[in-house]
Structure 1
C-alpha cells in the first residue's frame, strides 16, 4: 500500500520562497533579491501558489534544501521602508478615556493622564458591546459561504438569487445550476452559513480568536505579555486550526524560536490579515482609549506579524475602542489612523480608501479603485483588506447592512472583513439597532475549551468583567 502524501499548507519551504519574493517586492527589496529569484527559478522553483496553501506535490530534497537557504538569505535583507515593528506608540491623541460608574459595574477606568476623561453610562456601553459581539458574528457568517470566491462571482450569485445589492444571507435556493457550478460555495461553510441552514453561529477562526483574546485577559490580566499569548496558543489552539502567519509562528514556537522571532523566521505571511482578526477584544476592553487598545494589540500581533501586519491589528483595536463611545464613523476611523505610522503603506491605503468612499456615491466604483491600487496583493493581505474595511464603514455611514454587505462584496477575505466591519458598526449602533434580518441564535460553536455553545450575552458579561479598574 502506498501512503497518501500529507501536504501541510503554509509551511513547506518550497512554497514559502515565492511568497517571500512577493513580500520583498511589496516592502522595497525588489532590486536586492533579483539574483535570489533568478537562482530559485533556474533551479526549478515555482512562484507562490495563488490561492492554495501548498503546491500539489513535494519538492525534491535538493530543491527543498535550496528553498531553506534562500529563505534565510532573503530574511537577512532588511526593508528600506520606514515601517518599524516596535516597540513604538504614537503620542497621546486626545481621544478620551471613559470612566465607568454604575451600581454593581466594574470599577471606573482610570484616567491615565494621557487623555481627557469623559463620563459614560455603563448600561449604554454594555448595549454597544453586545452590539459589537453580535455584529462581528453577523458579518462573519455573511462572508463565510463566499470566502475564496472572487468579487465578480459574489455579485453573480447575489444577482441570480435576487440579493443584489446584498441585503440578506446568501442562499442556494433558486441559484441556477450553471452559476453554482461556476462559483462553488466555500465547502466548509455552505453547510452552516446559508439562509436555509444557519442554526446558531458556526465555528470560525474570526470568532475563535476573539474568544481566545478574552480567555487570555481572564487568565493573565491586562499586563499579559507576548509570551502569554504564545502559551495560550499552545494550550488552546489545535495547530490545524491556524493558518498562514499563525501556522508559521506556531511551528516556530514548537521549534524553540522565541517571540518576536516567531514572526520573522521563514514567515512570508507576516503582513497578512491574521493579526487584524485577533484585535477586537483589545479595543472592547479599553472603551474610548484607542492608544491602550493599540498597545494591547501590538503585544498580541508581534507573535506572528511585523510592520503593516501589526499596524492593521493596532488600527482595528483602536477603532473598536472608539466604536463603543463615538457618535460617528468618522470618529472611529480617525481613532484607527491615530495609532498607525502616518508614512506606512497601510496608513496611505486607508486614507485613500476613505477619501474615495467620501466622494464617490457608487460603492462599486470605490472598490474598483481599491483593486486598481491593491489588486496585486494576496486576497488575505492586511493592506487591501484594511482599506476595504475603512471604505465600507465610511461609505455605509452607520448603516449596518450597507457596511457589512460592502465588506463582503469587495471579494477579498470576505468573512474576516465582514466580521471586522460588523464589529465596529455593531459597536456604534448597539445591539437593539442592528436590523432584525441579521439576528442569529444566541449560541456560538467553538472548539476552544469552555466556549462551545456560549451565548453573546455571556460573552458581553465576561468582557465587561475584564474592563480596567482603578
Structure 2
C-alpha cells in the first residue's frame, strides 16, 4: 500500500491540464511544419487558449467514465461516445468512425484499411487515464488500450499511448524523468517503432550528442512512415524531457522546435512536466499568460456539459480516482497526511507482464463480454467476402467464473449464407481458462455491403445469452 496526499494529487492534475493548454496553444500555430524551427514562446495574445482535439477527446472519455463507471468502461462504450460526441472526420479519427458505423468493433475498427494506425491521435489523449489512476501505470494502460484501439487498432499509435499513459501515471510517484521514460518503455514491445525512437533519444543524450542531430536522426529513421506518425513525435517529446532537463520553458521549446505535430508534442510534454513537478514546476508568467479556460473544437456540446476550465476538469477527474482504484484493486490510499511511497512499489512499476498481455493480441479482432464468459473474435485477414467465397472466423472463449461450462453455439446467418462449425465448446473450471472455436462461413450468390452474422452462445444453467456480432463486409 502506498499513500498519496490529496492536495498534492490535485495539484499535479491541475498542472497537467494547464501544461496541456500551454503546450497545445504554443505549438498549434506551427502544426505540420516539417523543418527545424526556432520559436521563442507564444505567438498568441495573452489570455488566448487555442482549441485542441488532444484535450477535447479526453473530456468525452471523462464523461464516459462518469456515466458508465470503471468496471464497465471498454472500447465498445468509448466507440459509441466517439460516434455521438466527437465531430472530426480526419485521418484515423475518420477511419475509425467510418469502420464503426459499418459495424466493425474495436480494435478491428482501428485496423481495417487504416493507413493512419501508426499516427498521433491516441497518445495525445492519454492523460485522463493516468490522472484517474495516479501511481498505477498498469491500470492506466488498461484503459488506454480500450481508447487507442478504436482508431489505431494494434498499431504503433496504440503502443505510443501505452508509453505516455504509463509514464504519466508513474509521474505521480516518481519525478526523475529518466526513470519515467524507462517505466514507459517497460510497457511496450521492445522491438516496436515507438521504443526504437525513444531509445535513439536516450542513447544520443547519454553520448552527449546534441538535440538537433538527435532530432534529425529521428526524422530520418521514421522517413518510411511519413509525417504525423507516433514514433518520431513521441521521440520529440522525449527530446524535450531529456535535453530540457526539467526546465519547463527549455523543454517545451526543444519539443516544439522539432516540428511536425507541434501542438501534440508541446501539449503532451506540458502535461508530463505538470504531473511530475506540479504547479510549482510551471513558470508563473506562462501560467498567467494562458489562464484557466478550456476551449474545444472537436466536441458536439448540444446535449452534454463538458468541462469549461482546468479547475473544473481537475475536480471531476479527481472524483473518479477512488472508484477507478477500487475497481482495479489498487494498493493506493488517498490521505490528507504525508505521502508514503516505498522503493519496492516504485520498482514494481517496471514490470511489463500485464502490459504484454494487453498489447499481445491481433488487430483484426474484438471482444464481447457476457457476464460468465467473454469472447474474442479473430479474423486471419481483412473481414471481407465475395459471392460464393468463404472466410474463416475464430472465437476464443474465456471463462470468467470458477465453473466448468459447456457452451452451445448457433450461428444466425444472412440469407443464402452457410457455415461449417462445431456446436459445442468446453471451458475448464478455472478463471481465465480458454477454448478456441472455428467456423468457415460461405456466402451465397447475393452479398450485401454489410453482412451480419450473429453467434448465439448459451450455457445450460445460465439465463444469460451471449450474442456475438460478426460483421463481414461485402
What is the deviation of 1:270? 1.0
- Given that 1:445 and 1:454 are in contact with CA atoms closer than 8 Å, whether structure 2 keeps it comes out as yes
Match of 2:170 in 1: 322
Alpha-carbon separation, structure 2, partners of 1:396 and 1:358: 14
Q: Provide the residue aligned with 1:286 in structure 2.
A: 133
Distance 1:466 1:376, change over 3 A: same
Change (3 A) 1:453 1:233: closer
- Residues 135, 423 of structure 1: 8 Å contact kept: yes
Matched, 1:301 2:151: no
CA contact (8 A) 1:444 1:452 kept: no
Of 88, 93, 97, the match for 1:250:
97
Cα distance in 1 between the residues matched to 2:23 and 2:83: 28
In the alignment, structure 1 residue 444 sits paired with structure 2 residue 298: no
- Tell me, yes or no, if structure 1 residue 212 matches structure 2 residue 85: no
Q: 2:233 aligns with which of 385, 393, 417?
A: 385
Structure 2 partner of 1:400: 248
- Provide Cα deviations, 1:39-71, integer angstroms capped at 9, x if missing partner: xxxxxxxxxxxxxxxxxxxxxxxxxxxxxxxxx
Partners of 1:393 and 1:228 in 2: how far apart? 34
1:264 is matched with which residue? 111
* Distance across 1 between alignment mates of 2:243 and 2:139: 27
- 2:60–2:306 Cα contact (<8 Å) kept: no
Q: For 1:366 and 1:451, locate their aligned partners in 2 and report how far apart those are by CA, in whole Å.
A: 43
Provide the rounded CA distance (Å) in 1 between the counterparts of 2:204 and 2:258.
Answer: 14
Query: What per-residue deviation string (whole Å, max 9, x for no partner) do you get for residues 49-108 of structure 1?
Result: xxxxxxxxxxxxxxxxxxxxxxxxxxxxxxxxxxxxxxxxxxxxxxxxxxxxxxxxxxxx
Specify the SS of the correspondent of 1:333: helix
Which residue number corresponds to residue 39 of structure 1?
A: none
Query: d(CA) in 2 for partners of 1:428 and 1:242?
Result: 34
After TM superposition, where is structure 1 displaced by more than 4 Å over at least 4 residues in a row? 450-453
* 1:138 and 2:22 matched: yes
Larger strand fraction of residues: 2
8 Å CA contact retained: 1:403, 1:425: no
The CA deviation string for residues 255-288 of structure 1, in whole angstroms up to 9 with x for no partner, is: 2222222112211111111111121111111111
Instruction: Check the 8 A contact 2:59/2:306 in 1, yes or no.
Output: no
The alignment status of 1:428 with 2:272, answered yes or no, reads no
RMSD over aligned Cα atoms: 1.8
Contact 1:200-1:444 within 8 A present in 2 as well: no
Deviation at 1:368, TM superposition (A): 2.3
Mapped contact 2:163–2:188 kept (Cα < 8 A): yes
Q: Distance in 2 between matches of 1:434 and 1:381?
A: 28
Q: Give, in angstroms, the shift of residue 365 of structure 1.
A: 2.4
> Is 1:468 equivalent to 2:322 in the alignment?
yes
1:362 pairs, out of 210, 214, 221, with 210
Shift of 1:353: 1.4
Counterparts of 1:62-73 in structure 2, within 5 Å, are none
**TM-aligned CA deviation for residue 453 of structure 1:** 7.0
TM (norm. structure 1) is 0.64
Q: Compared with structure 1, are the counterparts of its residues 360 and 437 closer, same or farther at alpha carbon in structure 2 (3 Å cutoff)?
A: farther
Which is worse superposed, 438-447 or 285-294? 438-447
SS at match of 2:95: helix
1:229 aligns with 2:87: no
CA contact (8 A) 2:16 2:274 kept: yes
- CA distance in 2 between counterparts of 1:134 and 1:315 reads 21
The change in CA–CA distance for 1:132 and 1:220 in structure 2 (over 3 A counts) is same
Q: Which has the larger radius of gyration?
A: 2
Gaps of 5+ in 2: 327-474
Cα distance change of structure 1 residues 219 and 452 upon mapping to structure 2, 3 Å threshold: closer
Shift of 1:416: 0.5
DSSP-derived class of the 1:120 partner: strand
1:29-44 equivalence runs, <5 A: none
The residue number in structure 2 matching 1:351 is: 199
Can you list the C-alpha shifts for 1:369-417, whole angstroms capped at 9, x where unaligned? 2223224432210111112212221221211111111111011110001
Q: TM-score, normalised by structure 2?
A: 0.64
Partners of 2:63 and 2:306 within 8 A in 1: no
Which deviates more, 335-344 or 451-460?
451-460
Alignment length (residue pairs): 316
* Residue 242 of structure 1, CA deviation: 4.1
